[in-house]
Amino acid sequence: MPTMAAITIKKFDGVTDQIWTNVQASGGDKSPAIWRNQSVGTAPAFMPEARLTSRPNADNTVRRLEGVIDWKQTAVGTDGVTRKINVGYLKIEAVVPQGMATADLNEFTAQSCNFVGSSLWKLSLKDGFAPQ
């Protein structure tokens, strides 16, 4: 099983690194691992956050992983209080068969993650439309 760690990714400019700090390691099944981009937002409630949970199905033939990322947009009101005004939300669910051959599992993992990170998927997410 993987060890919790910070994750470094690129900003929209493709050059600048952003560190998503490991805030909480998973305590086991159904307990989320949590990361935050602490360079965005003025308080934890306003920072982008990613969570990943895992659990087995009833007969332990698959593992289910659910990942969510939320990105809060904030504004300061005339009263000086910062508030969330919009939240971008991405949810990914994976079903990982425990009987799948390692070579197939490796390809499923690599190609699925790379597909979601492709330029076309990024553009679709940014524009809010599936490709036509």
pLDDT tens, residue by residue, 121-130: 999 999 999 9
pLDDT tens column, 27-51 = 999 999 999 999 998 899 999 999 9
Measured CA to CA, the distance from residue 96 to residue 33 in angstroms comes to: 18
Range of the domain at 18: 7-97
Q: Is the pTM of this model over 0.75?
A: yes
In a domain, 58, yes or no: yes
In a domain, 102, yes or no: no
- Residue 89 sits in a domain whose CATH number is 3.30.380.10
Average pLDDT over residues 74-87: 95
Q: How many domains does the chain contain in total?
A: 1
pLDDT tens column, 96-123 = 999 999 999 999 999 999 999 999 999 9
Give me the pLDDT at residue 1, please.
Answer: 80
Exposed/middle/buried for 49, CB within 10 Å: 0-12, 13-18, 19+?
buried
**CA torsion, ordered 80, 84, 85, 86, to nearest 10 deg:** 160
In a domain, 123, yes or no: no
Exposed/middle/buried for 130, CB within 10 Å: 0-12, 13-18, 19+?
exposed
